[in-house]
Amino acid sequence: MRLSRYFLPILRETPKEAEIVSHRLMLRAGLVRQQAAGIYSWLPLGQRVLSRIERIVREEQDRAGAVEILMPTIQPADLWRESGRYDDYGKEMLRIVDRHERDMLYGPTNEEMVTEIFRSYVSSYKALPLNLYHIQWKFRDEVRPRFGVMRGREFLMKDAYSFDIDEAAARISYNKMFVAYLRTFARMGLTAIPMRAETGPIGGDLSHEFLVLAETGESGVYCHKDVLDQPVPGEGFDYSGDLDAAIAPWTAYYAATEDVHDQERFEREVPEDKRLHTRGIEVGQVFYFGTKYSAPMKATVAGPDGVERPVHSGSYGVGVSRLAGAIIEASHDDDGIIWPDSVAPFAVGLINLKPVDEATSAAAEGIYERLTKAGIDVLYDDVDNRAGAKFATMDLIGLPWQVIVGPKGIASGEVEIKRRATGERETLTIDAAINRLVAG
Residues found near a copy of itself in the complex (CB under 8 A):
5-7, 9, 30, 33, 35-37, 39-44, 46-48, 50, 65, 67-76, 79, 91-92, 94, 96, 98-100, 102, 104, 106, 113, 116-117, 120-122, 127, 130, 132, 134, 137, 139, 141, 143, 153-154
* Smallest gap from residue 12 Cβ to a copy of itself (A): 12
What strand order describes the sheet that includes 401-405?
378-381, 348-352, 401-405, 414-419, 425-429
* Smallest gap from residue 50 Cβ to a copy of itself (A): 7
Q: CB–CB of 222/277 below 8 Å?
A: yes
* Smallest gap from residue 98 Cβ to a copy of itself (A): 6
* Smallest gap from residue 211 Cβ to a copy of itself (A): 26
Instruction: Using the minimum distance from each CB to a copy of itself, give the nearer residue, 75 or 207.
Output: 75
| Strand bridging mode 130-139 / 154-164 | antiparallel
Instruction: Using the minimum distance from each CB to a copy of itself, give the nearer residue, 75 or 285.
Output: 75
Instruction: Using the minimum distance from each CB to a copy of itself, give the nearer residue, 96 or 260.
Output: 96
Instruction: Using the minimum distance from each CB to a copy of itself, give the nearer residue, 79 or 428.
Output: 79
* Smallest gap from residue 344 Cβ to a copy of itself (A): 16
Q: In whole angstroms, give the CA distance from residue 47 to residue 153.
A: 18
Query: Quick count: other Cβ atoms within 10 Å of Cβ 219?
Result: 16
Instruction: Using the minimum distance from each CB to a copy of itself, give the nearer residue, 31 or 193.
Output: 31
- Is 125 in a helix, a strand, or coil? helix
Query: What's at 57, amino acid-wise?
Result: V
Instruction: Using the minimum distance from each CB to a copy of itself, give the nearer residue, 9 or 413.
Output: 9
Quote the DSSP letter at residue 60.
H
Instruction: Using the minimum distance from each CB to a copy of itself, give the nearer residue, 213 or 396.
Output: 396
* Smallest gap from residue 41 Cβ to a copy of itself (A): 5
What DSSP letter does each residue of 221-258 carry, written as one string? EEEEGGGGGPPPP-TT--TTS-HHHHHHHHHSS-EEET
Q: In whole angstroms, give the CA distance from residue 133 to residue 59.
A: 12
Burial of 231 (0-12, 13-18, 19+ CB in 10 A): exposed
Q: In whole angstroms, give the CA distance from residue 322 to residue 185.
A: 12
Instruction: Using the minimum distance from each CB to a copy of itself, give the nearer residue, 98 or 369.
Output: 98
* Smallest gap from residue 374 Cβ to a copy of itself (A): 18
Nearest Cα residue to 349 out of 377, 369, 328, 370:
377
Q: CB–CB of 408/348 below 8 Å?
A: no
Instruction: Using the minimum distance from each CB to a copy of itself, give the nearer residue, 102 or 425.
Output: 102
Nearest Cα residue to 80 out of 291, 293, 309, 310:
293
Q: CB–CB of 350/379 below 8 Å?
A: yes
Q: In whole angstroms, give the CA distance from residue 410 to residue 293.
A: 67
* Smallest gap from residue 189 Cβ to a copy of itself (A): 23
Distant-in-sequence, close-in-space partners of 406: CB < 8 Å, separation ≥ 6:
353, 354, 360, 387, 416
* Smallest gap from residue 154 Cβ to a copy of itself (A): 5
Instruction: Using the minimum distance from each CB to a copy of itself, give the nearer residue, 107 or 336.
Output: 107
* Smallest gap from residue 139 Cβ to a copy of itself (A): 7
Q: In whole angstroms, give the CA distance from residue 155 to residue 56.
A: 17
